[in-house]
Structure 1
Amino acid sequence: FHIYEAARREEARVVFPSSVHAVGLYERTEILDQDCLLRPDGYYGLSKAYGEMLARLYFDKHAVESVLIRIGSVLPEVPDERILSTWISHDDFVRLIERCAEADRVDCSVIWGQSNNSRGFWRHDARLKLGWTPLDSSDSQAERVRGKVTDNPVVERYQGGKFIVVDYSRADFPPRSMFPDD
């Protein structure tokens, strides 16, 4: 709130570090676009969802521009199979932050913070508006991490990975869709 109030007063842009965990309760088989419903996988993801909603409010009411980066996994290398989908190289991340600052107009834009990974969970976002294209890919690391998974079916089912099981008390899985086809 204080950051957005300051941005409103100073007519500044905000680059908000959101996270995969704002949408972590989607199954890994689902491909998400920037306008998907938020499905946080815990309190951390809930705080990121709140930040995204605050950004939207400040854009709609005060014209404060924001780039909401749903950051995947910023790591030097891929440690397991899940992160083949969420990985963003350090170089791609730095280039993304530079474009967030240099782009002429960003409105209130969502960017999936992932490199050019063929196994990605995410597609359409505002990267063209920013003029950002990731140059790296996790694909060359796939063979090295083949079979590196957990033995937990909840962790392996959802995009949020191991964060899902913190305070998870269901005996089953949540429904695939909030609005099932009937």
Structure 2
Amino acid sequence: MTIAQGILVVVGLLSGLVLIGALLWSIARPSKRIWPPNREHSVIPNIAWGLTLAVFGAVIGLGILDWKSASMANPLRWAVGPFLIATGNLIVWWGAFSIGLKATSGAKDELITSGLYRFSRHPQYLADMAILIGFGLLFASSWVWPIVIVGVAALTFAPLAEEPWLHEQYGSKYRDYCAETRRYL
């Protein structure tokens, strides 16, 4: 492993682990939650975005530097990987534009239950998971996978941290939505 690869592994893993820690804190202590932020004009969304981008950036950078260090079937790499990346990006951006940047960053806005949100309460998190897994497949790098796993874990915990807040904000409307729509798929 080169120094650059080592730095990317450390940055990716630490960023993902800090996200997981903040989300687990928010799940365990909803009254003192970190995510979603308690204040509308908080620095927390910027920190959360920065840590998330560090995970994605580490996966991409490490994947390029450690290209094909792991053995993987070409159809899996070249068909499934890019498909997950492209589809995931489409869903992430569609979801972001559907609910708006403010709500995507953890602020209260209108509850959206149509479009992608008809099928999943958290399509953006699910799509981000698909993107990370897609990169892992495409790059076929053994060093990328620990970061992908930590990133997917953080994205799995995010809805669990958000949902108590969503119940507080939207009350019975959100409870009804939860009864009709699955968390992921």
Decide which structure has greater strand share: 1
Settle same-fold status: TM greater than 0.5: no
* TM-score (normalised: structure 1): 0.25
Q: Which has the higher contact order (CA 8 A, sep 6+)?
A: 2
Name the TM-score, length of structure 2 as normaliser: 0.24
